[in-house]
Structure 1
Amino acid sequence: MNTPAFLITIDTEGDNLWRNRSGNVTTENSAFLSRFQQLCEKYAFKPTWLTNYEMAVDPVYIDFARDVIARNTGEVGMHLHAWNSPPDYQLTENDWQFQPYLIEYPREEIRKKVAYMTQLLEETFKTKMVSHRAGRWAFDEYYAQLLIEFGYQVDCSVTPGVNWQYSPGAPQGKGGTNYTRFPRTAYYLDTEDISRPGSSALLEVPMSIQYKHSGLMNTLKQGYDALRGKKRSPSVHWLRPTGGNVQQMINVAEKTLASGADYVEFMLHSSEFMPDGSPTFKNEADIDRLYDDLDRLFSWLHNRTQGMTLAEYAAMKSEKGVSAA
């Protein structure tokens, strides 16, 4: 493929889950997704809507996603927040408060949840689920083996350079996955060690992330933070809107493409398209500024990339027989 792919991944989930720790999840953001879909289509880009449980049973979202699938203008994949995805299993005294990682649950419960979500999505949208992102970016070898068992072809849970161990889940757990030494380009992962390429059928497509500082500066900053009793992951920039960061996103995309990568990967949460659906975009003016930034980013990418869903990118890699980008 001469032209790199632009992969748009949307974690499609309930409203402002950063704030909502009560268990009363709402899905009003489903009514705000068409505007983004239309912007993608303006540039011939094709988003992958990685769908969580509460959205998979929301009638407005179901109609929206079925239309996207019917017109082949995007894809529905699977996203899984363990604390509110059936079947129910109480891991902590208050799972909604702690939002435990799926990989912290007993293996038999992990399998039940993956099986349930896969069946629900496939029956609802009448299409095979092949794309996936883990809730809260928590991924491990057993999870990868389950995805292969259930027929998934591509995962995008890896965030290179980011260590989620400092982000707690269950109080008795060890935090999330440490991705600081994972590859930055697509690779068929090793199911015995997901940090390295292997011979499995599951393609890993890491997020497009660049370090904010040099390696030396990151080391110094982490050492200084540790002395102050604050353990943090290295500072990074994502291909992800945070409000007024369009040039930063372009820089991430430019550096990623300059490294020879055959894709760049963007992400956002579905609730971030709705006023007050996230801590970042709190009102209509924030949303309008978000769309101005998105339009500028997409315009920059339009002549440098070609839009693909995750499934299309995985199919292209499979046809080429490439084990790593």
Structure 2
Amino acid sequence: MLEPPSASMLANFAPGFGQRVLLTVDTEEEFDWRAPFRREGHGLSHVAAIPRFQSFCEAIGARPVYLVAWPIATNPAAVEIIGDAVRRGTAEVGMQLHPWVNPPFEEELSHHNSFPGNLPPALEAAKFTVLRDRVEEAFGLSPLIYRAGRYGLGPHTAGLLRAAGIRIDTSVRSLFDYSEIGGPDYTCHPQSPYWVDDACQLLELPLTTVQWGLLRNLGTGLQRLGQRIPRAMGVMARLSLLERIALTPEGVSAEEALRGIDIALDSGLPVLVLSLHSPSLAPGHTPYVATQADVEMLYQWLSVVYADLARRKVQSCTVADIIAATGG
């Protein structure tokens, strides 16, 4: 999963599938993103904001996939709110592993160990299994989709997911490199979904990020160079030479996102994977949303993006739709 796949591993979708959009939510505890990792002291006050978000999604035709971390899966209020939407068929639930708050607690707290794939295989498996069992108990279903916390896949993650019956991993963040802080390098990974294994049992569904600008056809080499020169990427973006656009309302304007959608659809991506963190639904819990005005801007971003997708006849899809369209 850590190495870019060969072209032969790219997944084929059923002809009638067309181009769709999937909204994923890293549904997790509140914590200070700049502080050292801790087991305790996180908050869940933003859970009270999830009903508004769910109602909003239903109004715009989005069916969010809540990728729940351990604190959410063990919180009765969160389980009831998300579970109600899942039972009504207006949302889905999957898993997200945050090792620092997910038992068993055997590892030292560190940046390195915050990436689940960096853990010893037995410990990664133990944490994953505890979370999977809790999700099954809380929501009455077997999760089919997984995202590693901090996008932290490891060399043993694929085998773990296959053994657990997970059909889709959505941990790869193409065009992003976390190697300087101990995580994976996804700079050269494709945007298109691809099979992790020859048996076509586990599909990788990367979060959608594209390159925009006059120099975007020069590929990832220029981006790698720019990332190593202070402020170079910002200068290139301002000059419309090269800009990395992730399809998220967190730190990306609606105008930028619409440019990204243009590129993603023109390149033929079958699924556009949007993402956000659930603590951004309330002010003061993430670097992207400091005030209530920022919350309203997040909703405005979603309104603009989904209106544009509707204009282009890009419909929302579910995890089950993706599995069926790829031969599952």
Instruction: Name the TM-score class by shorter chain.
Output: 0.7 to 0.9
- Mapped to 1, the partners of 2:19 and 2:280 lie a distance apart of 26
Q: What amino acid does structure 2 have at the position aligned with 1:33? A: I
User: Does structure 1 residue 253 correspond to structure 2 residue 264?
Assistant: no
- Mapped to 2, the partners of 1:4 and 1:33 lie a distance apart of 27
| Match 1:318 to one of 309, 315, 327 | 327
Q: Deviations for 1:26-64, whole angstroms, at most 9, x for unmatched residues? A: 111111112221121112221100000011111211111
Q: What amino acid does structure 2 have at the position aligned with 1:58? A: N
Q: Please name the residue that 2:275 is paired with.
A: 267
* Contact 1:159–1:207 (Cα < 8 Å) also in 2: yes
- Mapped to 2, the partners of 1:134 and 1:310 lie a distance apart of 17
Q: Deviations for 1:229-287, whole angstroms, at most 9, x for unmatched residues? A: x99xx962100113560011111112111111111110000001111121111111111
Q: Deviations for 1:208-232, whole angstroms, at most 9, x for unmatched residues? A: 111245355964564466467x99x
Q: What amino acid does structure 1 have at the position aligned with 2:184? A: T
- Mapped to 2, the partners of 1:225 and 1:19 lie a distance apart of 21
1:12 CA displacement? 0.3
- Mapped to 2, the partners of 1:182 and 1:317 lie a distance apart of 20
- Mapped to 2, the partners of 1:98 and 1:54 lie a distance apart of 21
- Mapped to 1, the partners of 2:35 and 2:132 lie a distance apart of 25
1:311 CA displacement? 3.4
Q: Please name the residue that 1:181 is paired with.
A: 188
* Contact 1:55–1:61 (Cα < 8 Å) also in 2: yes
SS at match of 2:183: coil
* Contact 1:243–1:290 (Cα < 8 Å) also in 2: no
Paired-residue identity, %: 26
- Mapped to 2, the partners of 1:130 and 1:17 lie a distance apart of 29
SS at match of 2:274: strand
- Mapped to 1, the partners of 2:41 and 2:285 lie a distance apart of 14
Task: Indicate the larger mover: 11-20 or 217-226.
Answer: 217-226
Task: Indicate the larger mover: 300-309 or 219-228.
Answer: 219-228
Task: Indicate the larger mover: 236-245 or 267-276.
Answer: 236-245
* Contact 1:8–1:309 (Cα < 8 Å) also in 2: no
Q: What amino acid does structure 1 have at the position aligned with 2:202? A: L
SS at match of 1:33: helix
1:196-235 equivalence runs, <5 A: 198-213=198-213, 214=215, 216=218, 219=221, 222-223=224-225, 226=228
- Mapped to 2, the partners of 1:148 and 1:292 lie a distance apart of 38
Q: Please name the residue that 1:109 is paired with.
A: 123
Change over 3 Å in CA distance of 1:312–1:17 after alignment to 2 = farther
User: Does structure 1 residue 33 correspond to structure 2 residue 50?
Assistant: yes
SS at match of 2:322: helix
TM-score by length of 2: 0.84
List gaps (5 residues or longer) in structure 2: 1-15, 234-241
Number of aligned positions between the proteins: 301
Task: Indicate the larger mover: 296-305 or 52-61.
Answer: 296-305
User: Does structure 1 residue 54 correspond to structure 2 residue 71?
Assistant: yes
List gaps (5 residues or longer) in structure 1: 169-174, 191-197, 320-325
Change over 3 Å in CA distance of 1:120–1:127 after alignment to 2 = same
- Mapped to 2, the partners of 1:135 and 1:289 lie a distance apart of 25
* Contact 1:159–1:209 (Cα < 8 Å) also in 2: yes
- Mapped to 2, the partners of 1:295 and 1:16 lie a distance apart of 27
- Mapped to 1, the partners of 2:284 and 2:309 lie a distance apart of 28
Q: Please name the residue that 1:146 is paired with.
A: 160
1:39-78 equivalence runs, <5 A: 39-78=56-95
Change over 3 Å in CA distance of 1:312–1:220 after alignment to 2 = closer
* Contact 2:208–2:273 (Cα < 8 Å) also in 1: yes
Task: Indicate the larger mover: 134-143 or 115-124.
Answer: 134-143
* Contact 2:93–2:143 (Cα < 8 Å) also in 1: yes
- Mapped to 2, the partners of 1:180 and 1:102 lie a distance apart of 19
- Mapped to 1, the partners of 2:176 and 2:88 lie a distance apart of 36
- Mapped to 2, the partners of 1:285 and 1:224 lie a distance apart of 33
Q: What amino acid does structure 1 have at the position aligned with 2:205? A: V
- Mapped to 2, the partners of 1:112 and 1:244 lie a distance apart of 36
Change over 3 Å in CA distance of 1:161–1:221 after alignment to 2 = closer
